[in-house]
Amino acid sequence: MRKFGFAAVAIAASLLGAAPAGAAALLTSDAGYTGPILDFGAYSGQFYVFTAGPLSLPGGITYSSESPGSVLGIGGYGLNGNGSSETTNIIGTNDPGAFVTLEFDTAVAMFGGGFNYAADGNGTPLYDAVIMRAFDDADVLIAEYDIGDLAPISTPGAVDAFAFRGIDGGGRLIKRFEFGGSYAILAAQATETGGVPEPGTWVLMILGFGAAGAMLRRRRLAPTAA
C-alpha cells in the first residue's frame, strides 16, 4: 500500500488545496485534487526500465527525460537520509542534473502526485534544488518551484514513503510538467477525492445551513402546550 504523508505548509494553495483564480500555486495536499492519475501501464510492477524515452503512458501522457539513466518501474531507489523506494512504481530522475518531462495530449488544470527527494545529508547543494515546473501549450512557463526549499520532505529511514506535491495552473492549462534538479521520484498519484464545490454551490450550502439553523431556533422558541 502506498504511503502519502501530506504536509501542510504556508504556500499551500488554499484551505481547499485549489489555487485562487488567476494565480498558479504549489499544492502540498491532494484535497480537492482533480488532475490526472498517473498510470504506469506496461511498466507497472516491472523492474526498472532505464530510459530517456519518449514512452507513451496510458491516459495520453508521454514520458521523457534528459538522462538515459532515468527510471520507470520498481526497484531499490535510495534517497540519502530520506530512506528509499523499494516496492512502489516510480519515475526517478536518477541524475541530479536531469529533468523528467510528462507531456499531456490534452492540457490539464493541475497535476501532482506522491513525491520524495533526497535529503541534504552531506552538506552540499546537490540535493537542495528540487525543481517542479509547468508550461502551457505555447511553451510558456506557468510556474516553477524549488520544492526542496518550499516544501521539504523528511522521512528518515522510511521505505516507500511519499508526500503529495503538484501544481495548479490557476486557470492556465498545463501542457508539460517537469521535475528534477536532484535525485527525485514520483509515484502514482493519490486517489482523486472528488471535485471541490463551485462558488455557487458554497453559497447554496451556506444558505442551507442558515435555514436549518433558523428552523432549529424556531423549534427551541416554540411554546409548549399547557
Same structural domain, 200 and 187: no
Same structural domain, 208 and 170: no
Same structural domain, 123 and 187: yes
Question: How far apart (Å, rounded) are the C-alpha atoms in residues 47 and 86?
Answer: 10
Q: Find the largest Cα–Cα distance for the chain.
A: 86
Cα distances (Å, whole numbers) of residue 208 to 16, 63, 197:
20, 46, 14
Same structural domain, 98 and 174: yes
Render pLDDT for 132-160 as a digit per residue (tens, 0 to 9).
Answer: 999 999 999 999 999 988 998 888 899 99
Same structural domain, 27 and 118: yes
Domain count, the chain: 2
Same structural domain, 166 and 127: yes
- The cell numbers describing 47, all together, are 523492474
Same structural domain, 179 and 202: no
Render pLDDT for 184-219 as a digit per residue (tens, 0 to 9).
Answer: 889 875 433 333 333 333 333 333 444 444 443 444
Same structural domain, 115 and 185: yes
Whole-model pTM: value is: 0.73
Domain that holds residue 219: 196-226
What's the chain's length in residues? 226
What are the two backbone dihedrals, phi and then psi, of residue 25, each rounded to the nearest 5 degrees? -150, 150
